[in-house]
Amino acid sequence: MQELEAQKKELEKTVAELSLRTVELEEAKIELALLREQLGFKEANPELETLAAEVIGQDPSSLVRYLIIDRGAQDGIRSGMPVISSHGLVGRISDVGTEWSKVLLLTDPSSAVNAIVQRSRATGVVVGRTGHSLLMRYIAQGESVEKDDIIITSGLGGNFPKELVIGQVTQVHQSDVEMFQEAEIRSAVDLSRLEMVMVILNFTPIEFETE
């Protein structure tokens, strides 16, 4: 009986070790897939110099939308730099420490990105809203914007490079008595599940002086 009990404990230990190894292999597989996505994006956009970063913190509140990444001033990160994933625009750097940075997400109510409808070239401004959603405002009446249209950055204002994917139109709001149309946008990136991002290093936002 003692020998059988010892064998049982040894088998249980082996099963636990194999289970742990299985988890480690699955995590390695997921990380490899993420790295391949980033590599594919860099190969498709050779003009962008990017630095990979790991998400190490998230905003737990419902008011401010930000991430904390494991790259900072010592890695060449500066405030205002755009942050992307392989699927599209994430936000911009808002605060920088020596070894960390804070990323203000597109969905933050203070976020605003000049944008364009890829199909019709209609312009507007994509702003964040409470509830993790986006809204494209100031689309002139008469301009064409439809459900499923792809929205990209226009480059106007000098805060973001041109042609970064923002998201897709889910609903259009029109009114004959309003000067502008509005469109609800679904972000191209699942901002709540990000594990890795890329910071664009070779783009310097333009700061306009105000009198």
- pLDDT bracket for residue 210 (50, 70, 90): very low
Q: Which long-range contacts (CB under 8 A, 24 or more apart) does 162-168 make?
A: 164/82, 164/84, 164/88, 164/89, 165/87, 165/88, 165/89, 166/88, 166/89, 166/106, 166/113, 166/115, 166/126, 166/134, 167/88, 167/126, 167/134
How do residues 144-155 score in pLDDT, each as one tens digit?
A: 999 999 999 999
**Per-residue confidence (pLDDT) for residue 62, from 0 to 100:** 57
The radius of gyration computed from the CA coordinates of the chain, to the nearest angstrom, equals 22
**Per-residue confidence (pLDDT) for residue 137, from 0 to 100:** 95
Burial bucket for residue 14 (CB in 10 Å: 0-12, 13-18, 19+): exposed
How do residues 26-62 score in pLDDT, each as one tens digit?
A: 767 767 776 777 677 776 677 889 999 999 998 766 5
Coil, strand, or helix at residue 197? Answer: strand
Pairing of strands 101-105, 133-140: unpaired
How do residues 62-113 score in pLDDT, each as one tens digit?
A: 566 899 999 999 999 999 999 999 889 999 999 999 999 999 999 998 999 9
CA distances from 71 to 95, 114, 128, 163 (A): 11, 26, 25, 25
**Per-residue confidence (pLDDT) for residue 118, from 0 to 100:** 94
